[in-house]
Structure 1
Amino acid sequence: MKILKLVIAVFLLGSCNAQNNNITLKTNNTDNTLLWEISGKQLSKPSYLFGTFHLICKDDIPFGPQLKTAVKSVNEVYMELDMDDPGRLTGALQLMNMKGDTTLKSLYSTEEYKKLQLFFSDSLQMPLAMFQSMKPVFLEAMLYPKMLPCKTMSGVEEELLLLAKENKKPIQGLETMAFQASVFDSIPYTGQAKELLKAIDSLQAYKKYFEVMVKAYKSQQLKKMQELLSNKDFGMEDNQDILLDKRNKNWVTQLNTIMKKESVFIAVGAGHLVGDMGLISLLRKEGYKVRPVEN
């Protein structure tokens, strides 16, 4: 059950207590930062954009002093989902299950399924039978703890939630659980099943890729992260439009309204920040000034 709870946590990345927003945060000398200030376009107060990582060694989470100042200065914190929703865990189970009567067994040949069973039994010490309805993409997420060199892991969103609560900042979500379920349902289960088996067969290669991605995140090299996400063997190039581009455009539409009303701290997966269809580029195209902040 610990691994199941971990997977749920992995994918779940106006207050009267708002501080004075007339602050000036130091600009980063390069674009190597996960923290960005959004201003201009008649915004009365700046908002902030931050790239998260869904699972990482807890000691590696990059919360610098300026990030903490930014969180203190805003009215609300927006994440992909409302992480403070008491029904989040129940909704997560619905998000993780495949539609209809599709089962894992139906997605694999007899030989492939036996290989999957053996891996879960030997490497994860869990029976595959208990995950028959789970989308393969979430089963793939169970491999991530085996790729990290630490025992104490956490989601950046989870730690940011604690920081927001310390500062009495309300949490909001840019998407609903039902919408996120539809996103993963739009990727064919057969394709997800193929990727899960590929990850198990090439676990050491995936581990090296994951290590490089974590290193790029820790050093806040967004261009390197963009390059890795475009990797034809390990990245999400085939599903980028579904997982990133369309969602980014929808979020910018929402943020146009939200940021006019109040100052907010926006925390979404770092992959959503980069590229021509990333949030930094899209917000600039909307006429905002988006500048890198030292973190």
Structure 2
Amino acid sequence: MNIKFKITSLFILLGSILFAQNLENSLLWKIEDPQQEKTSYLFGTMHAGCELELGNQLKETLMNSELLLLEINLNDPGVNQEMASQMFMGKGRNLGNLMSKEDYDLVLNFLHPRLAKQGLDLEFIKKIKPIYLSVMLIPSLFDCDQVTAYDLLLAKFAQQIGIDQAGLETVEDQLRVFESIPLKKQAQMLVGSARDDGKSDQKQMLAMAHAYQERDLNRLSEIANEDKGLFIEYEDEILIKRNKNWIPIIKKQMTEFSIFIGVGAIHLVGEQGLINLLRKEGYEVTAMN
């Protein structure tokens, strides 16, 4: 599986407690500035899903845009190398240093059969940071042959039709979110998944996927809110700060181009979501489907 997909997939799992905000059932939104003629678009992506494909509306909207703006620029040739360089614990550390012997055996028995299907052997698995292992488990949560991400499909189509691409943040920015979470806390999440054989993770992922298919951002937010797990204390780093950091970049790009913004759907909702933040900046943001 493409390493870019593995990394971007994580952010659909990092549920957030956001302020409630009712939104129309739509994943695609039009952004208009009363002071300018250019129209831009905001699309909530699914970072992992079964046999996803771009519909005609998405393709036509992207073809009418001048720039694709994703969370990171997936066409950057250095993306894979930078991501891979951060995956390992290093300094002789492995999973066994982060948990009890009993939990270590449980986690390895949980991980190995699932990740062996991706060509990863046990010695390799032991050296990877727990949070990346959680990402690598995502395909096992779906009952289908082809798990992909809308972000990758958008990047591929934009390349095909010759539209420039850029990122709202660098790979380093995105990985910094991971690094802010201590390894032992990452390990706690992994142990929790192993103890119930991944059933809770799968239930949440499939519920989010269903809400996404229904274009129901409100339900998607509710499901995320039901997760009272490890990442609640990192909400500010995972979502709120990133959303606020993106607004000046989006505003600047919209003064020059008609842009198509693709970010994880959870970034759209709530008081601190992109839709509300853009409206506060004076933009008209309206549902398109």
For normalisation by structure 1, the TM-score amounts to 0.85
Mapping for residues 113-152 of structure 1, pairs under 5 Å? 113-125=104-116, 126-152=120-146
Contact 2:3 2:80 in 1 (8 A): no
Match of 1:199 among 193, 199, 202: 193
> Is structure 2 residue 105 aligned with structure 1 residue 109?
no
1:164 maps to 158
Aligned mates of 2:144, 2:203 — CA distance in 1: 15
Structure 1 position 113, deviation (Å): 1.0
SS of the equivalent of 2:208 reads helix
2:149 maps to 155
Alpha-carbon spacing, 1:48–1:236, altered in 2? closer, same or farther (3 Å): farther
Match of 1:182 among 176, 182, 196: 176
C-alpha RMSD over aligned residues: 2.0
Contact 2:114 2:137 in 1 (8 A): no
Aligned mates of 1:256, 1:269 — CA distance in 2: 19
For normalisation by structure 2, the TM-score amounts to 0.87
Contact 1:97 1:135 in 2 (8 A): yes
Match of 1:218 among 213, 216, 221: 213
Match of 1:75 among 39, 43, 66: 66
- Which 10-residue stretch deviates more, 276-285 or 91-100? 91-100
Structure 1 position 163, deviation (Å): 1.4
Aligned mates of 1:209, 1:292 — CA distance in 2: 26
Aligned mates of 2:85, 2:68 — CA distance in 1: 25
SS of the equivalent of 1:69 reads helix
1:274 maps to 269
Match of 2:281 among 267, 286, 291: 286
Query: Residue by residue, what CA displacement relative to the aligned partner does 1:220-252 show, whole Å, maximum 9, x if unpaired?
Result: 100011111112346843322111000000000
Match of 1:239 among 210, 234, 241: 234
Aligned mates of 2:59, 2:134 — CA distance in 1: 33
Aligned mates of 1:44, 1:94 — CA distance in 2: 43
Structure 1: gaps of 5 or more residues: 14-29
Query: Residue by residue, what CA displacement relative to the aligned partner does 1:131-170 show, whole Å, maximum 9, x if unpaired?
Result: 3442211111222211112101211111111211222101
Structure 1 position 100, deviation (Å): 6.2
Match of 1:256 among 238, 251, 262: 251
2:18 maps to none
Match of 2:33 among 19, 29, 40: 40
Aligned mates of 1:154, 1:211 — CA distance in 2: 14
Query: Residue by residue, what CA displacement relative to the aligned partner does 1:87-114 show, whole Å, maximum 9, x if unpaired?
Result: 2211120243347665322111111111
Aligned mates of 1:135, 1:167 — CA distance in 2: 37
Aligned mates of 2:178, 2:248 — CA distance in 1: 22
Contact 1:40 1:287 in 2 (8 A): yes
Match of 2:6 among 10, 19, 26: 10
Structure 2: gaps of 5 or more residues: 10-22
- Which 10-residue stretch deviates more, 66-75 or 212-221? 66-75
Q: Count matched residues.
A: 272
SS of the equivalent of 1:124 reads helix
1:18 maps to none
Aligned mates of 1:250, 1:153 — CA distance in 2: 30
